[in-house]
Amino acid sequence: MTLRRVRLAGLALVLAVVSGCGATAGAESPGAESPGATLATAGTTAAEPATTTAPLVLPGAGRTAPVSTPTLGQTPAATAACLTGSSSGQFLRTDGSGLTCAGQRVALTGFTFYPALLGGAKAWHDPSFPTYIDHVLDMGAAAGQNLVRATDQWDSGTKGQTADDPTVWANMDYLLAAARQRGMFVVVDLSAFRWLLASQGADQWQADLWTGFIGAVAARYRDNPAVAYYSIVGEPAPPTTPAQLQSLLDFYRTTSEALRQADPNHLITVGGFNHMEDHPELGWWQAIDALATNDIVAVKTYSQHDLDLMPAISAYGQSVGKPVIDEEFGMPQGFGDGSFAGGAAYNGLATGRGPFFESVYSSGKALGFAGFIFWNMGCQLGPGSYEVSPSTPSVWSVVVRNGAVPVAGPTPSSPPLCG
């Protein structure tokens, strides 16, 4: 089944997150990637969005997170070694089936960071966004998570967006600093550049339009120890012919090679795939994931088909010596928190959210998956919302129980994570 995130215009709620969120509003729905961004350096003039292969320059380093004392004591020693590193220190590596830091295995569990209650992409363009960033990262820490994947810095419908928007990159810098201080890694997800190109009427899959953007992002973050890995862009339409497969291979080869050349420090995944059961005669996702510059096999889980394919994906990862990460999974609240709400199944899944999340974690762990990222952390409530918070107690307890960082005692309630 085709899964596409519904970007609802006119979300009615903008919260004061300092006192917690938690009202009902229009919901996002996962499955599609978001538009990407371009970075700039201090003192430069904002460049036009990348439409040629000319080098892109991003704005200068943005604000840092005002957290006086890092909470790295919450994380395993190996994880802390990477997060406290520098350009000459440790970065995450693979050992063929898992992720490591300083030679020790690192388990990763995390969440996507999509500000549904603040209108999605437009929130990244707001100088006050760090307040929301802190709130959601505090939720992640309370749930024992150590990985965050930030998405949707641009959308496909807003005109005048630029890849080097200084507010966007100041907010991204803040998120990386704030995550690091909470003992969390960050997936630098480049997929929103796709939507930025779409907003300009450009070809989203023309590789030479990506290389300047990729080089600028890599120059900004190649020495940042909070980066877990880069994710280029997932969810391509499955190819139906050898020629279409070759086009995808060329795109991912060009973009991943450009990224590896610009940043040799960090791991790369071409992106999380879905519909992987389609056109098995082409072996399309296997061919792309086999690229030498792709370090991680990333998948997305939103259906019974996706769950059923997990053993085959794990076996493939083992055969090519690459770890597997479930980069995105989730289910709308309307299907029930603990037990199935009834009615039509969700993509073949006649179950509540808590049991579905437990199936993803338990199956993935048994198959040796190296990490998990659910969609999405936040306080939004509504039948179409995918968000997870203490206000959705069954799925929240599953997330906490499976978190990479042990949580001592109940979720803090003062101040409340969701008011």
User: What letters, b where the CB count within 10 A reaches 16 and e where it falls short, cover 237-266?
Assistant: ebbeeeebbeebbebbbbbbbbbbebbebb
Indicate the helix (H) or strand (E) that contains 298. Answer: strand 297-301
Indicate the helix (H) or strand (E) that contains 106. Answer: strand 104-106
Domain assignment present for 268: yes
Domain assignment present for 13: no
Answer with the residue of higher pLDDT: 49 or 390. Answer: 390
Return the CA Rg of the chain: 20
Q: Which of 220-224, 335-339, 399-403, 406-410 has the lowest mean pLDDT?
A: 406-410
pLDDT digits (tens, 9 = 90+) for 240-249: 999 999 999 9
pTM: 0.86
Round the average pLDDT of the chain to a whole number and report it: 85
pLDDT digits (tens, 9 = 90+) for 174-229: 999 999 999 999 999 999 999 999 999 999 999 999 999 999 999 999 999 999 99
Domain assignment present for 209: yes
Owning domain of residue 312: 21-401
pLDDT digits (tens, 9 = 90+) for 362-388: 999 999 999 999 999 999 999 999 999
Q: What CATH number did the domain enclosing 36 receive?
A: 3.20.20.80
Per the structure, the count of domains in the chain is 1
Q: Which percentage of the chain shows pLDDT scores above 70?
A: 79
Domain assignment present for 231: yes
| CA dist., res. 59 & res. 41, Å (int) | 4
Domain assignment present for 335: yes
| CA dist., res. 306 & res. 39, Å (int) | 35
Domain assignment present for 9: no
| CA dist., res. 397 & res. 402, Å (int) | 9
User: Which whole number is the average pLDDT over 40-46?
Assistant: 31
Domain assignment present for 3: no
Domain assignment present for 272: yes
pLDDT value, residue 83: 86
